[in-house]
Each structure stands twice: as structure tokens, then as C-alpha cells.
Amino acid sequence: MTMKADIVIIGGGISGAAIAYNLAKKGMKNIVVVEKRFIASGATGACGAGIRQQWGTEMNCKIAKMSCEFFENANEILGYEGDIEFKQGGYLLLASNEKEEEQFKRNIALQNRLGIASKALSLEEAKEIVPMLNTEGFVSAAYHHKDGHLNPFHTTLAFVKAAEKLGVTFMKYTEVTGIDVNGDEIIGVQTTKGYIETSRVVNAAGGQSQDIARMVGLELPIYSERHQILVTEPVDPILSTMVMSFTGNFYCQQVPHGGIVMGRGDAGEPRDGNINSGWHFLEEMARTITKLLPPLKKAMVIRQWAGLYNITPDRQPILGPVKEIKGFYLAVGFSGHGFMFGPATGILMSEIIMGEPTSIDISSLNLYRFDRGEMVFEPSVV
Amino acid sequence: MDPKTIICRCSDITLEEVRQAISDGYTTFDEIKRVLRTGMGSCQGRTCMPLILREISVMTGIPQEDLNPGRKRPPVNAVSLGAIAEGEDHDYES
């Protein structure tokens, strides 16, 4: 079977769905999204689904702010019959030492300059927000009340449903097996469900973005790393705010449904695509969180899982076209933050593809910044 | 059967809701789980999984034995964070 498309988007996660929706809204026809499994079955569905604007680089702050403002009205804008379950309970970031406290002060100054109303808190003020917090080992905190959490499946499905209404085709359970290039131009995409003739391809493949790029002979400076999460049985609301530490390497948040979701990074995590759950994580996570929030000792763990962070050298995404192949676009390397950046990714990528000026200047997020040494390192990542 | 019959006891999901999800195009256990939370509760799908697979089979015509029962996640039974934190050290990774 051979199909024709004006553009093929590879990846049915938040980025692919949001790009498809925005392109269709701008009037593009014949948009096909190809997804290996089902909607949000990769990194999007596995993520902690917290969203924050407290970032340490200007680009990450701006993209996060734009996305958060979209989330606030997403049910209405997208005409979703369900609910994306957006809760803005804030993020409390804990500083472990004076160096991190200084970093937070610089971040807050940057955020405030960009219109993000974050603020520094003493440990006493932090305890007013999270009374059960054990502040031992911390010196101060940063807080922003508009950060929060969403349901990653329903948020992605809201984009998918809105895109389908505008004529976008989503091909589930369809794997891309090759991309055909003639000279420096794309001519088609090979899939397990047939061939798609097209001159444009968007790589929004999350943890597999390097594999897709290799299909056109492009090596991305990216690796994919496993990150693990667990969730407890639903309990009454006891934690209004996300509690997070970069040096402590953890985050913990109660979602509206009542479950408490928590995760941590680990330098020893595999980088071979493995997303199986490990026992070591469960122990480390339990020890960390029961010390930090002692009443959670009684919380029952019911499920753990893992997903892939698609990590760039500066932990900022790569957004835009490439020089080597005409019609090949990258929306990759979100470094653990692709879900919360989804709405902005959709808007900005659609503007780039349509040849319009972008709402935010994202020229610094091009692929070639690494060669030129123009990296601005994002310090605030778990 | 009464359409209001509870299929998922952990998340209070009815037969009607399951059938609606299937007719909306969510024709695997893992997709329905993500849309309705069936199988995300403390029973980990042990109650609802066979019931949902039967409904998928009836509505899609695919024999039940050919349907994917979904990805299993640890732990098998709910365990408190306190019990895990106070457990003895292990030097293996599963």
C-alpha cells in the first residue's frame, strides 16, 4: 500500500500530537502521524507529568511559561470532552547547600525577569506549604505557585482528538523502518503498514529519536537514559505541592486522583533502551522519601515503571530543521521535559515548518550549537 | 448484563464506560488502562483484565487468546514505603 502525505510526523507522544494539531490548525492538509505502539505509549506516558516554569536557562523558562499558559485553557482550546486534569499546586524546590541556594537565586532572578513569579523561601516558609517536610539537610527553597501536574494520557489524547477533527491521520501500531532520501531531499517513509510518499518528516520519536535520525544518516549528540518512577495507592489529599531536589535527585507529587508519584535519577542507569523496573530504585526511592516526608512510610506502593530521557549535552531540546537534509525537522532531546514543553513544541515547530516567524526566538536551540560551543547548560534537572 | 455493572473495583469503572472506550478505538487492555485507569489500582488488573479482554473480543471479533493482556508492572502486591525503606540491603538489580 502506498500513501501520500504532505508531512509525516514520527512519534505519537505529546510532541508529535501537538505539532500535528498546530500544523492542521494553520491549514496544512494530509498530515500523517506514525506511532510504533499507541498514543503516549513511550516517554510521554511514562513521565512524572509534573510541569514547572522554574528553570535555569532563558530558553527553558520561556518554553515552559508558554506551555503552562496553554495548559491553563487546554480543555477549552482543544475542545476536549474528557479532562486533562490540570492541577496547579506549585513546585517546592529544596536547596541542599549554599552553592545550590546561590544557583536558585540566579534562577529566580532570571525567572522573575521573564514574568515567572517564583520566589525564595526559608525552610520555615517551606514547612508552611508542606507541614510534614523534614528539612534536615536543606538550607532553603524556591517556590512557584503556578507549577503543577497533568494527566499525560488525557493531555496527549486531547491534542490527538483535536487534530483528528482537523483531518490529521494517526497510524497506531505502525513502525517506521526507513526513510528514503534522494540527494538531500526526502522522498518517502517506509513503515510496517506500507510506504508513505512525502517530502517532509518531523522526528518527534522521544527515546528513539537517534534511531530515526540515523535513517537519514544523521548522528545526534543525544543519549537515552532510563528513569524510574513509582506510584502509591490513592490517599486523601496530604501533599498539595511538588517537592523536588536537584542535588538530592528526587521529586514527589500527589496527583489529583490521590496517588503519590515519585521518581529519582541515578548516574548508573542503563543507556541501552532498557525500560524495565529495578529493585534498587525502589529501595533508594523509599529511603529518600520516608526520610524527607516521614508520614509516607505508610503509603502503599502499587506500581513502578520506567521511561527514557532523551538527553542532549546542555539538557535543552533541539528544535528546528537540519542543514544536511531538506524537509527533515527535529523536535528531540527534551532531556526529561518533553511533556511539559509539549504545547510550545507544537506551536513553535509548526511555525518553523510553515516558514513563519516564531512566537519565541528559538534559533539558539538548533542542532549546530554543540559544534560551535554555544551551549547554555541547564542546571535544574532531576 | 446491567451497563452500570462495575468492571474495575479499584477505580469504579462500569461496563458501559469500558464499552464506550472500546468503541472510541481503544482496543487493547493497555490503552483502556491509560484512558480509564482500569488496572492501575491495587489489584493491578487481576479482577478487571479478563473481563475487559472478553469485552474487547466481543466487540472486535478477535479471539480472546490472541489479545495482549497488557504489560505487568511490579510489585505483585502493594508494599508500604516504610517496609521497603527498612528492608535489608541487597546487592542485586532485578
Which is it for strands A50-51 and A148-149: parallel, antiparallel or unpaired?
antiparallel
pLDDT at A376: 81
pLDDT at A327: 98
Q: What is the arithmetic mean of pLDDT over A179-193?
A: 98
Whether A99 shows a pLDDT value over 90: the answer reads: yes
Q: What is the mean pLDDT of chain A?
A: 96
Residue A194 falls inside a structural domain: yes
pLDDT at A68: 98
The model's confidence at residue A346, banded by pLDDT at 50, 70 and 90, is very high
Are A286 and A331 part of one and the same domain?
A: no
Task: Out of B31, B73, B92, name the one closest to residue A303 (CB).
Answer: B73
Task: Out of B30, B44, B80, name the one closest to residue A303 (CB).
Answer: B44
Instruction: Please tell me if residue B61 touches chain A, with a CB cutoff of 8 Å.
Output: no
Pull the grid cell for residue A121.
523561601
Q: What is the arithmetic mean of pLDDT over A61-82?
A: 97
Are A324 and A302 part of one and the same domain?
A: no
Residue A133 falls inside a structural domain: yes
**Which chain A residues contact residue B73 at CB under 8 A?**
277, 303-305
Are A137 and A204 part of one and the same domain?
A: no
Q: What is the arithmetic mean of pLDDT over A37-48?
A: 97
Whether B90 shows a pLDDT value over 70: the answer reads: no
Residue A79 falls inside a structural domain: no
pLDDT digits (tens, 9 = 90+) for B43-88: 889 999 999 999 999 999 999 999 999 999 999 999 999 999 998 7
Residue A78 falls inside a structural domain: no
Phi, psi at A271, each rounded to 5°: -120, 25
Are A213 and A255 part of one and the same domain?
A: no
pLDDT at A160: 98
pLDDT digits (tens, 9 = 90+) for A272-321: 889 999 889 999 999 999 999 999 999 999 999 999 999 999 999 999 99
Instruction: Please tell me if residue A40 touches chain B, with a CB cutoff of 8 Å.
Output: yes
pLDDT digits (tens, 9 = 90+) for B15-34: 999 999 999 999 999 999 99
The model's confidence at residue A380, banded by pLDDT at 50, 70 and 90, is confident
Q: Which of B88, B50, B22, B51 is nearest to A279 (CA)?
A: B88
Q: What is the arithmetic mean of pLDDT over A22-27?
A: 98
* 3-state SS, residue A148: strand
Q: What is the arithmetic mean of pLDDT over A24-34?
A: 98
Task: Out of A154, A283, A301, name the one closest to residue B87 (CB).
Answer: A283
Instruction: Please tell me if residue B80 touches chain A, with a CB cutoff of 8 Å.
Output: yes
Residue A71 falls inside a structural domain: no
pLDDT at B93: 54
Residue A58 falls inside a structural domain: no
Are A297 and A337 part of one and the same domain?
A: no
Task: Out of B73, B81, B94, name the one closest to residue A279 (CB).
Answer: B94
Domain boundary residue among A295, A310, A325? A310
pLDDT at A265: 86
Residue A60 falls inside a structural domain: no
Domain boundaries, chain B: 6-85
Whether B94 shows a pLDDT value over 60: the answer reads: no
Instruction: Please tell me if residue B34 touches chain A, with a CB cutoff of 8 Å.
Output: yes
Whether B89 shows a pLDDT value over 70: the answer reads: no
Residue A56 falls inside a structural domain: no
- For residues A379 and A103, is the Cβ–Cβ distance under 8 A? yes
What CATH number is attached to the domain comprising A345?
Answer: 3.50.50.60
pLDDT at A375: 80
Structural domain count, chain A = 2
Are A190 and A251 part of one and the same domain?
A: no
pLDDT at A266: 83
The model's confidence at residue A71, banded by pLDDT at 50, 70 and 90, is very high
**Which chain B residues contact residue A297 at CB under 8 A?**
80-82, 85
A301:B87 CB<8 A: no
pLDDT at A330: 98
Distance of CA A257 to the CA centre of its chain: 21
Are A282 and A295 part of one and the same domain?
A: yes
Does A119 or B92 have the greater pLDDT score? A119
Domain boundary residue among A260, A278, A310? A310
Q: What is the arithmetic mean of pLDDT over A245-264?
A: 95
Are A299 and A243 part of one and the same domain?
A: yes
Percent of chain A whose pLDDT exceeds 90 = 94
Rounded-to-integer distance, Cα A214 and Cα A332, Å: 13
Domain boundary residue among A310, A333, A357? A310
Are A232 and A186 part of one and the same domain?
A: no
CATH class of B6-85: mainly alpha
Pull the grid cell for residue A304.
513502578
Write out the residue range of the structural domain in which residue A175 sits: 2-48+153-222+314-372
Whether A170 shows a pLDDT value over 90: the answer reads: yes
Are A192 and A326 part of one and the same domain?
A: yes
Q: A103 vs A5, A36, A51, A82, A124, CA distance in Å?
A: 47, 40, 20, 40, 20
Whether A1 shows a pLDDT value over 80: the answer reads: no
**Which chain B residues contact residue A303 at CB under 8 A?**
40, 44, 73-75
Which alpha helices (DSSP H) does chain A contain, by range? Answer: 14-25, 43-46, 58-72, 74-77, 98-113, 123-129, 152-165, 209-214, 279-292, 342-353, 369-372
Are A140 and A157 part of one and the same domain?
A: no
